[in-house]
Amino acid sequence: MYSQGLIGADGRTEETPEFLAAFQARVDAEQKIEPNDDMPEGYRRTLVRQIGQHAHSEIVGMLPEGNWITRAPSLRRKAALLAKVQDEGGHGLYLYSAAETLGVTRKQMTEELLDGRAKYSSIFNYPTLSWADIGTIGWLVDGAAIMNQIPLCRCSYGPYARAMIRVCKEESFHQRQGYEIVMTLARGTPEQKAMAQDSLNRWWWPSIMMFGPHDADSQHSDQSMAWKIKRFTNDELRQKFIDATVPQAEFLGLTIPDPELKWNEEKGGYDHGPIDWDEFWRVVKGFGPCARDRVAARKKAWDDGEWVREAALAHAEKRRARKLAVAAE
Ligand code: BYC
């Protein structure tokens, strides 16, 4: 029998050493943890934090790209961008639902985002200054997201792992549409190629920061790896991303803005220059270039949507009352 926790006076499972060991054994045996299973409070909290941050990132991530929908250079580009931004909204909803299975409400998560307790990915605090940025976001940002999220399809928590499967399929389409935009610009006029290079120069470092702090400074990695929430460390994923992306930049004839980027035969991967962690922490702490606009946009959407939530609730309540009345007849 898996559950060896004792039920405490408050009705919650006390985390005895036996309970924790049995939980870990279950994770080690690659059994999926499902919403109604007993789980350590720390495991639940870690997932709420990570899935919540992930959901917020998908929703906030719609803003920098949405900014270009009306200015896309052709109908084909506009239709593709619209579909991509809509996909990101869908990913956010999927993820909020996955987090809700852990006993937190979407309202709580949104309030935490708006008052700064919950984070969203640092990358979405940077502005989209040119059309090339839409290509670069697809290529680099979705590319980094895929690298980070493919292993999450094997996360020990079932609802998160299953949500990631569809999300990754769509992200892979997004990455290709971005790469194709950058390729078109890189093969275009000298001005277009310069636009693509300028975009790469601005997005490269923020993209490799997306993977989070170096392993030595990552507070949560060890425990998250033990619980098989994370399957690779931040630095391992960053390295995989750099190794996959450098040949793509070479193919495009673009230069990655890191003079210290060099193939290291011994390790079988690229060495890179130092990351500006001061910039990273500044952005993570809410002082990124667009941070105020992003949170203000989310607050406006939440406030403007209040009547919709109220109407939906009233409608659901009315239907429930009608069903009860019919059942009572
Ligand atoms: N931005 O101990 P660590 C996407 C925080 S893609 C902001 O290593 P962990 C999309 C971290 O939360 C982006 N904060 O943490 C793509 C922690 O602070 P708290 C979303 C960051 O959790 C294209 C502290 O730093 N993807 O959505 O083990 C278009 C210490 O870090 C960041 C996900 O969220 C950052 N970059 O590892 C549209 C993927 N990095 O919480 C949308 C799921 C670190 O203690 N998340 N921090 O206050 C993850 O895989 C992990 O949470 C991370 C961080 C790798 C991000």
Distance, in Å, from the CA atom of 65 to the CA atom of 81, rounded to the nearest integer, reads 8
Distance, in Å, from the CA atom of 261 to the CA atom of 248, rounded to the nearest integer, reads 14
Give how far the C-alpha of residue 20 lies from the chain's centroid of Cα atoms, to the nearest Å. 29
What is the per-residue pLDDT for 14?
76
* Tokens representing residue 271 in the block: 């060495």
What is the per-residue pLDDT for 1?
34
**Average pLDDT rounded to a whole number, residues 175-191:** 97
What is the per-residue pLDDT for 3?
44
Q: Strand 6-7 and strand 13-14: pairing?
A: antiparallel
41-60 helix and 75-100 helix, angle to the nearest 10 degrees: 160
The residues with which 7 forms a beta bridge, in sequence order, are: 13
pLDDT in tens, 14-67: 789 999 999 999 999 999 999 999 999 999 999 999 999 999 999 999 999 999
The one-character DSSP state at 33 is B
Does ligand 1 lie within 6 Å of residue 257's CB atom? no
HSE toward the beta carbon, residue 22, CA cutoff 13 A: 14
Distance, in Å, from the CA atom of 164 to the CA atom of 97, rounded to the nearest integer, reads 12
Shortest CA distance to 202 belongs to which of 279, 301, 270? 279
pLDDT in tens, 218-241: 999 999 999 999 999 999 999 999
Does ligand 1 lie within 6 Å of residue 46's CB atom? no
What is the pLDDT confidence band of residue 12, given thresholds at 50, 70 and 90?
low
pLDDT in tens, 242-281: 999 999 999 999 999 999 999 999 999 999 999 999 999 9
Distance, in Å, from the CA atom of 296 to the CA atom of 292, rounded to the nearest integer, reads 6
* Tokens representing residue 107 in the block: 């309202």
Does ligand 1 lie within 6 Å of residue 112's CB atom? no
What is the per-residue pLDDT for 40?
96
Asked whether 120 and 113 are in contact (CB, 8 A), the reply is: yes
- Name residue, tokens 């020990």: 156
Does ligand 1 lie within 6 Å of residue 88's CB atom? yes
With a CB cutoff of 8 Å and minimum separation 6, the contacts of 154 are 161, 228, 231
Give how far the C-alpha of residue 226 lies from the chain's centroid of Cα atoms, to the nearest Å. 21
291-304 helix and 106-114 helix, angle to the nearest 10 degrees: 140
Does ligand 1 lie within 6 Å of residue 206's CB atom? no
What is the per-residue pLDDT for 280?
98
What is the per-residue pLDDT for 249?
98
- Mean per-residue pLDDT of the chain: 95
First to last CA, the chain: 44
Distance, in Å, from the CA atom of 156 to the CA atom of 319, rounded to the nearest integer, reads 37
Q: Which of 9-13, 74-78, 80-84 has the lowest mean pLDDT?
A: 9-13
Does residue 11 have a pLDDT over 80? no
What is the pLDDT confidence band of residue 10, given thresholds at 50, 70 and 90?
low
Shortest CA distance to 101 belongs to which of 25, 23, 46, 157? 157
3-state helix, strand and coil shares in percent for the chain, rounded to the nearest 5:
70, 5, 25
What is the per-residue pLDDT for 4?
45
Does ligand 1 lie within 6 Å of residue 58's CB atom? yes
% of the chain residues with pLDDT over 70: 96
- Looking at ligand 1, which residue's alpha carbon is closest to its atom 43? 54
Does ligand 1 lie within 6 Å of residue 224's CB atom? yes
* Phi/psi of residue 36, nearest 5 degrees: -85, 0
What is the pLDDT confidence band of residue 2, given thresholds at 50, 70 and 90?
very low
- Looking at ligand 1, which residue's alpha carbon is closest to its atom 6? 145
Distance, in Å, from the CA atom of 125 to the CA atom of 290, rounded to the nearest integer, reads 5
Distance, in Å, from the CA atom of 185 to the CA atom of 196, rounded to the nearest integer, reads 6
* Tokens representing residue 10 in the block: 């408050």
What is the pLDDT confidence band of residue 329, given thresholds at 50, 70 and 90?
confident
What is the per-residue pLDDT for 270?
98
- Looking at ligand 1, which residue's alpha carbon is closest to its atom 50? 148
Angle at Cα 287 formed by Cα 285 and Cα 288, nearest 5°? 110
- Name residue, tokens 């277009």: 192
Mutational test site, ligand 1, from 115, 174, 219, max ligand atoms within 8 Å of CB: 219
